[in-house]
Structures are given as C-alpha cells and as structure tokens.
Chains A and B, each alone.
Chain A
C-alpha cells in the first residue's frame, strides 16, 4: 500500500477498517515513519472519548490470576534476543556475595529493566557517541542502568585498547572506594577490567588488548576498594550494567 494520505490511513487503521495485510503494512511503516505514527496517535486520542462512554463491567474474579499465570509462562523480558545476557559477570563468585543476584525474580526484573532502559536510551547514546568522537566511530555502545532501570553511564568501546565512559548520573562513591569498569568478552575469558574511574568523572580508558567487542557484550561498573579490585575480578556491588549495541 502507499502512504500518501497518512491521516486517512491513520483513521482507517484506528477504526479497524483495513484488511489485515494492510494493517500489518501500517504497523511496519509506523516503526520508521514518525509522521504516520503521530497521525495514528492523534486518531487514537480523537476517538478515545467514545471508549470512555463504555460503562465498566464486573470482570471474573479469575481474570487477573489468568493474566499472572500467562505472565509467568512468558519468558522474562519477552523481547530478549540474547539468551546469554543474564550471565553473571563472575561465575566464580558465590550468589550470596550479591543479594541482588540471589533472587531469580530480582534478576529477571533487572534484565527487563536493563532492556527498557536500553530501548529508551539508545538514541541518546548514539548521539553522545557521535559528538564525543566525531571522526572515529565506537565499535559498540553500551548504556548502563542501575537496578531501577535509570541510565547511569554510557560506555563506548572503540576496540584497539580504547574505551570511553560517560557518567550520566551522580554515582555515590565512598572515599575509600573506586569505580571499576568491566566487560565480559566471552565466558571462557571471564570478566576483564577496562580500567578505574575517577570520582564521578567521565573518563577515557586504556583497556588491555581484547577481542573485538561484540553485539550484546556485557559491560558493568562495580564499586571496588581504592586502587581497584584486589583479585582482578569484580568483587564489589554492581552500580550499573548494560549490554553493547552496534551503532547503526
């Protein structure tokens, strides 16, 4: 179908007057055509008062239970594409070391939160990456979020021993502690330190030579003793984490 009169199409779509195939075409087009998406949103809100005239009806007492059951069957973060992403940074660390990870629900909440944050923030991250480097593109960008899903930092990994961390929120660091940035190039290799962060300052890091960063590679910032982790692996609480995306 053609998208010449987007307002007429938006109305037909909202009224359910399109054939299923055209409906799918509209949905696909909406994803890349902001004008059409806005026209559909406007049409929805235009007709919404008619829905508001519907008198609420009593629903079955089991309806919410049915929804909850279905939600439990739905894999956490149904939009997940990478199956590996909930891999903990340090497989050797006992789960008790981090109360967050001790609870599967918390883990899936986090995972979901990380995805929400990522989705909302990727555009911004891409913009940052662009202004920061101008000529050189990072190979991957990771938006790091805290457990509540709030964006804390962006890591841009340029490969060839260069990465930049931009802090986007005031992370609280006690005087005897330091922030350390990690990535997980592969399970076999385990977590590798990219470097230490100055107190709440965006920093250019000089990580060791590592395999080329991949899509969905894990990055995180932990709180470590001053001078960095004594073991060479993350030992402190996770302040923020996120998964790399390849800039498009």
Chain B
C-alpha cells in the first residue's frame, strides 16, 4: 500500500484517539470500516452472521489494544485488518473441530462460490498494483494456493486437497511462491 495512501486514511489518528479513551474515534472507525471488515471476515468464515460476530469481537480488541499500535509497525489499516483476520481464522479453527461432518457438507456446497471469491479478489486487484504485478509472475497453482490461504483462510491441508496435490508438495509450492513474491515486491 502506498505510503501516501496509508497516511491519508487517518486511521492512525483514530487509533491514537482510541488509546486516549475517545470512544467516538472507535465509532468513526466502525462507521467507515465495518462493512468492508465484515466482508473480509465473511470470505474466511463463509457466513454473514459469523462474520459480524468476528467484527464485534475485533472492535473490542481494537479498543483495548489501541495503545499497542505504533506506526513503525506498519499501517493502521493493516493492524486493524490483522485483528479481524486473526479472529476469523480462530473461529474457523474452532468450528472445524466442532462439526466436521457438517462443515464438509457445507464446504462441498459452497466450494464453487468460495473459489470464485478467491479468484475474484485477485481479478479485482488494481492492475497497476505491485501485488497484482508480482502475483501475475507466479505459476498459476502457486498463486492460487497463496490466494486461497490469504483470502479464504484455507489451511495447508485444505489447499492441498483442493489443488489435488500431496500435502508436502502444496506446502513447498506455497513456500516458494511466497519467497518469489517477497523478492518481486522488495
């Protein structure tokens, strides 16, 4: 994300205000960002009601942890999104254990939908963006594995299954894909 864009979104100032106990700042973040954050969470947990639950808990965390945010640790937006993403991934992990059978059935039903989400995120990336250009240089399967993990919250095992690869192969493809991506974006 461009530095100018990072500074211009003002989210860092809102986080500093939250750290000072300004509850209105939290509300302003909510008003601006809750819609997108819910959409980001929904890509991972696959259900709107669960996504809202994730966002609800994430805002409690944003409020109580705002004093930990520091600009030398990346953008305020990245920090906020990380809180939402972590909560979504944890919910997914907990759910996986609880109702595996049900989840598998639902997974099968939603499979096509989910892959659409993952691929559309890539297609919607700004054509001029660095990330887009660098993802473009990756071999198709590697790119897909990385997108499935980041956008859809898939685990190594799930990615291997969907891409019909042995687990070890999927892991090493993703690892190499990520290394190539880092190098390209450096």
* A contact set with B: CB distance below 8 Å: 7-8, 11-12, 14-17, 20, 37-38, 40-42, 44-60, 63-64, 66-67, 70-71, 74, 78-79, 108-113, 115-117, 119-120, 148-149
Contact = CB atoms under 8 A, between A and B. Distances in A.
A110 B74 CA distance: 28
Contacts of B131: 46-47, 49-50
Given A8-B178, A40-B74, A46-B181, 6 more contacts: A16-B153, A17-B174, A56-B35, A56-B38, A109-B21, A116-B20
Interface string B94-137: 00000000000000000000000000111011100101100000
Interface string B76-102: 011101100110011001000000000
A53 B67 contact: no
Contacts of B59: 67
B36 interface: yes
Contacts of B66: 116
Nearest to B49: A60
SS class of chain B's interface: helix, strand, loop or mixed?
Answer: helix
SS class of chain A's interface: helix, strand, loop or mixed?
Answer: helix
B19 A59 contact: no
Nearest to B147: A50
Interface in B1-58: 1, 6, 19-23, 26-27, 30, 34-36, 38-40, 42-43, 48, 52, 55-57
A70 B56 contact: yes
A45 B74 contact: yes
B130 to A, nearest CB: 8
Given A8-B179, A56-B36, A112-B21, A48 B67 contact: no
Interface in B148-179: 149-151, 153, 155-156, 174-175, 178-179
A108 B21 contact: yes
Contacts of A17: 149, 155-156, 174
Contacts of B60: 67, 70-71, 74
A144 to B, nearest CB: 15
Q: Which 5 A-B pairs have the closest CB atoms?
A: A41-B74, A56-B35, A112-B21, A53-B124, A54-B39
Contacts of B27: 64
Contact of B78 (A20, A45, A54, A149): A45
